[in-house]
Amino acid sequence: MGHKHRTVNATGWSAFVKRWRRNNRRRLNTVLTRLLGTAEPRRRPLAGDTRRILVVRLNKRLGNILFLTPLLRTLAATLPTARIDVVIQDARQKTLLESLPGVGRVWVQHKTVSSLIGLIRGLRAQRYDLAIDPSGNSTSNRLAMVLSGARQRMGFASNSQWLRLSHAIDRTHSRHQAEKAVELLTASVAGTDFESFDTLAVFPGERAQRLAHEHWRALFTQTRTPVIGFFMQATGGKQLPRAWWMNWLAATAALNPNARFLQICAPGQTAQALPEAAPLIIEELDVLAALMTRLDVFVAADSGPMHLAAAAGVPVLGLFRITDPAAYAPLGRACISMAGPDFDADDAARSVTRLLAAERQMGVA
């Protein structure tokens, strides 16, 4: 009993300390915003000599990095003479961003002190004309903006935005995380007619396409029948149980007897593979994206592979148990979502069948 009592007290104390720190941080941010920051929107033209742009997204989630792609494409199409660099945290995602037009260097923030110092020196040496924080709620992003030394800064105004911004909006009409980033750009800059993009996109190179083709040939024959891909994993409550996937697979196979199934597995997850599908692990994200372009439909819960498939141009059925598709839906060609705490496997199978039918009609047309 004594040990349990000490554990409860320790847990309560830890929660108290976290609340205390969070509240003090909020108060400090409010004070700094009043003194130095940006609480109100600021809409103005870009400097005429804006040529070197840095987009800061210090986050490891694949979906959040892919949400940058409409913003990056909008910048490249509207400012074709500009070089757009990006700073991220996961080196595996570099090749996805490097495939986009207009993107120059993709910096990676490593955790070692020496690497961090080298990154700061490298960023400051570039003398960026504009730095963009497309998330609005990351202290790390704001610090990177300051350390970059950019003479123009773009981000979201709020009562806790302690960074002085040259271009800012206070809120967006869009709820989707990718669309918010584009709206930040188009709404905070005056006097520029932007060519905007509203879907995710990646463009795997020749090496990735060649390796993807080798994987594909090892899995399937040349006979052309529909291939339905799916990914069972997701974080926390977003994941659907294995039994649901088994029921969905059986229902989908019954409606599409000629279809073949490819299960994309995360590293170390082959034990969960379903026997009715061909399992595949590809760690290189650009190779995985290239392979996904060969699929007819992809099905997944809210996860990185779901967004990667949408960026690769595959029709996607996204399954949202606890997250909001208005903010996180797959943005791509012929992508649809189902939302709610429970999904009927038969309904999901019928949705996949409709997507396949639409793809066949497009092929005939």
Write out pLDDT tens, residues 159-186.
Answer: 889 999 999 999 777 889 999 999 999 9
User: What CA–CA distance (Å, rounded) separates 351 from 329?
Assistant: 16
Q: How confident is the model at residue 22 (pLDDT cuts 50, 70, 90)?
A: low
3-state class (DSSP) for residue 189: strand
Q: Tell me, yes or no, whether 216 and 338 share the same domain.
A: yes
Higher-confidence position of 361 and 204: 204
In a domain, 2, yes or no: no
Residue 61, CA atoms < 13 Å, CB-side half-sphere: 14
In a domain, 30, yes or no: no
| pLDDT score of 100 more than 90 | yes
Q: Tell me, yes or no, whether 253 and 357 share the same domain.
A: yes
Mean pLDDT of 7-14: 64
Q: What is the pTM of this model?
A: 0.89
In a domain, 119, yes or no: yes
Q: Tell me, yes or no, whether 179 and 261 share the same domain.
A: no
In a domain, 11, yes or no: no
User: What CA–CA distance (Å, rounded) separates 299 from 84?
Assistant: 32
Q: Tell me, yes or no, whether 269 and 157 share the same domain.
A: no
Would you state the pLDDT for residue 267?
86
β partners of residue 154: 132, 167
Q: Which residues of 8-43 are buried (b: 16+ CB within 10 A; e: fewer)?
A: eeeeeeeeeeeeeeeeeeeeebbeebeeebbeeebe
Least confident of 24-38, 114-128, 219-233, 239-253: 24-38
Q: Is the C-alpha dihedral spanning 283, 284, 289, 290 positive or negative?
A: negative
Q: Tell me, yes or no, whether 347 and 214 share the same domain.
A: yes
| pLDDT score of 296 more than 80 | yes
In a domain, 4, yes or no: no
Mean pLDDT of 82-88: 98
Least confident of 230-239, 324-333, 339-348, 354-363: 354-363
Would you state the pLDDT for residue 112?
87
Least confident of 36-40, 187-191, 302-306: 36-40
Higher-confidence position of 99 and 137: 99
Would you state the pLDDT for residue 79?
97
Would you state the pLDDT for residue 230?
98
User: What CA–CA distance (Å, rounded) separates 37 from 159?
Assistant: 9
Would you state the pLDDT for residue 360?
83
How many structural domains are present in the chain?
Answer: 2
18 Cβ neighbours under 8 A, 6+ residues apart: none
Q: Which domain holds residue 319?
A: 206-364
Q: Tell me, yes or no, whether 172 and 247 share the same domain.
A: no
In a domain, 20, yes or no: no
Q: Tell me, yes or no, whether 302 and 335 share the same domain.
A: yes
User: What CA–CA distance (Å, rounded) separates 175 from 328?
Assistant: 9
In a domain, 147, yes or no: yes
- The mean predicted confidence, pLDDT, of the chain is 91
3-state class (DSSP) for residue 217: helix
Q: Tell me, yes or no, whether 147 and 270 share the same domain.
A: no
Q: Tell me, yes or no, whether 231 and 176 share the same domain.
A: no
Q: Tell me, yes or no, whether 297 and 159 share the same domain.
A: no
Residue 293, CA atoms < 13 Å, CB-side half-sphere: 18
User: What CA–CA distance (Å, rounded) separates 92 from 266?
Assistant: 14
189 Cβ neighbours under 8 A, 6+ residues apart: 43, 44, 45, 46, 167
| pLDDT score of 299 more than 70 | yes
Q: Tell me, yes or no, whether 304 and 162 share the same domain.
A: no
In a domain, 90, yes or no: yes
* Domain limit, last residue, from 188, 218, 235: 188
- Contact between 93 and 65 under an 8 Å Cβ cutoff? The reply is yes
Least confident of 108-122, 181-195, 342-356: 108-122
CATH of the domain at 304: 3.40.50.2000
Q: Which amino acid is at 58?
A: L
User: What CA–CA distance (Å, rounded) separates 64 from 133?
Assistant: 13
Q: Tell me, yes or no, whether 150 and 213 share the same domain.
A: no
Would you state the pLDDT for residue 123?
94
Between CA 100 and CA 107, with CA 104 as vertex, the angle to 5 degrees is 105
Q: How confident is the model at residue 348 (pLDDT cuts 50, 70, 90)?
A: very high
| pLDDT score of 34 more than 90 | no
3-state class (DSSP) for residue 252: helix
Helices (H) and strands (E) in the chain, counts: 13, 12
